[in-house]
């Protein structure tokens, strides 16, 4: 867009952009700033809140220190629950996302109607945030980890399905044709021609999504869908800031650990 190569317009001084490019560049800058200012301006932000923000922040930090170590024994179980929610939710995703991905890939779907249905399901699943799914499933299953598991699964289906469908569309057609030529049924073509080619992608995205899901399941408790979020929310509402800080530290540890595991596993797979 704006990265044209340098041109020599005037002989004495070298410039990266010629005058026309410079004008276009500045026009872009001005319009971006204009949009941002318009957006900020329309939000009706009470700027005087900023005046005492540093006092409020300092107050919070003072109240949070030191972390209430005696509280640690109560954290273990909800932390495990958080990990379970993410893991089981991701596991369920594997089984649901798979058939939908086949519908949503152009080369394996039945016809354009099934393709559209597959795509719509994926877009719908992806557009609704995990926490919003959580709201819905808490209304259905009542508060608790079951709602969290389904919330995680429903959000991940779109993510997994999209990536797997893209992988299916990019597979080597030769292998599929070869298997078709042996007179294999549609199911056999799927399991021997297509599946082996996309499995590495599936495992990779599954582990990656698991890592994201750990982070997401730490907040599911805010809407009542289980995990550490329930404790965090109640400590915040009771202004028990020293418990809050310990909970945050433990969340930090779990998220870092999951990120580390997922990076290691993906390194091994690829």
Name residues contacting another protein, limited to 213-232 (CB under 8 A). 215-216, 218-219, 222-223, 226, 232
Q: Does position 266 bind another protein by CB under 8 A?
A: no
CB of 51 vs another protein, minimal distance in Å? 11
Q: Which stretch binds another protein (CB under 8 A): 68-76, 83-91, 99-107, 178-186?
A: 83-91
Count, residues near another protein per rule CB under 8 A = 64
Give the footprint of another protein on residues 7-46 (CB under 8 A).
16, 32-33, 35-36, 38-40, 42-46
- The reply on whether position 56 binds another protein by CB under 8 A is yes
Torsion angle of the four alpha carbons 234, 240, 246, 247, in this order, in degrees rounded to the nearest 10: 10
Site map 121..160 versus another protein, x via CB under 8 A: --xx-xxxx-xx--xx--xxxx-xxx--------------
Residue 27 or 32 with smaller CB distance to another protein: 32
Q: Enter the tokens of residue 101.
A: 């991905």
Which residues, 6 or more positions from 260, have their beta carbon under 8 angstroms from its beta carbon? none
Please, which residue, 186 or 257, has the CB nearer to another protein?
257
Write a three-state SS string for 142-211. CCCHHHHHHHHHHHHHHHHHHHHHHHHHCCCHHHHHHHHHCCCCHHHHHHHHHHHHHHHHHHHHHHHHHH
Per-residue contact string for residues 167-206; x = within reach of another protein by CB under 8 A = --------------------------------xx--x---
Q: Which is nearer to another protein, 126 or 242 (CB)?
A: 126
Distance CA 194, CA 217 (A): 33
Given a contact cutoff of 8 angstroms between Cβ atoms, the answer to whether 218 and 82 are in contact is yes
Residues 8, 14 contacting (CB under 8 angstroms)? yes
């Amino acid at each position: 867009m704006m990265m044209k190569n340098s041109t020599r317009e005037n002989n004495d001084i070298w410039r990266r952009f010629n005058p026309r490019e410079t004008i276009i560049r500045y026009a872009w800058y001005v319009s971006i700033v204009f949009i941002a200012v318009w957006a900020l301006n329309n939000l009706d932000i009470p700027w005087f809140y900023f005046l005492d923000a540093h006092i409020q922040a300092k107050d919070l930090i003072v109240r949070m220190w030191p972390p209430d170590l005696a509280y640690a024994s109560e954290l273990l179980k909800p932390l495990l629950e958080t990990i379970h929610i993410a893991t089981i939710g991701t596991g369920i995703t594997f089984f649901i996302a798979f058939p939908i991905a086949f519908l949503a890939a152009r080369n394996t779907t039945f016809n354009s109607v099934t393709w559209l249905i597959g795509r719509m399901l994926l877009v719908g699943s992806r557009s609704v945030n995990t926490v919003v799914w959580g709201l819905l499933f808490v209304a259905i299953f009542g508060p608790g980890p079951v709602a969290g598991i389904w919330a995680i699964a429903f959000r991940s289906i779109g993510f997994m399905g999209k990536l797997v469908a893209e992988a299916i569309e990019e597979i080597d057609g030769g292998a599929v044709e070869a298997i078709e030529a042996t007179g294999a049924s549609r199911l056999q073509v799927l399991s021997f021609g297509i599946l082996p080619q996309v499995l590495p992608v599936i495992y990779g995205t599954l582990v990656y999504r698991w890592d994201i899901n750990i982070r997401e399941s730490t907040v599911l408790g805010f809407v009542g869908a289980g995990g550490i979020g329930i404790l965090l929310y109640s400590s915040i509402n009771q202004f028990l800031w020293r418990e809050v800080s310990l909970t945050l530290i433990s969340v930090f540890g779990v998220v870092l650990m999951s990120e580390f595991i997922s990076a290691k596993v993906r390194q091994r797979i690829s």
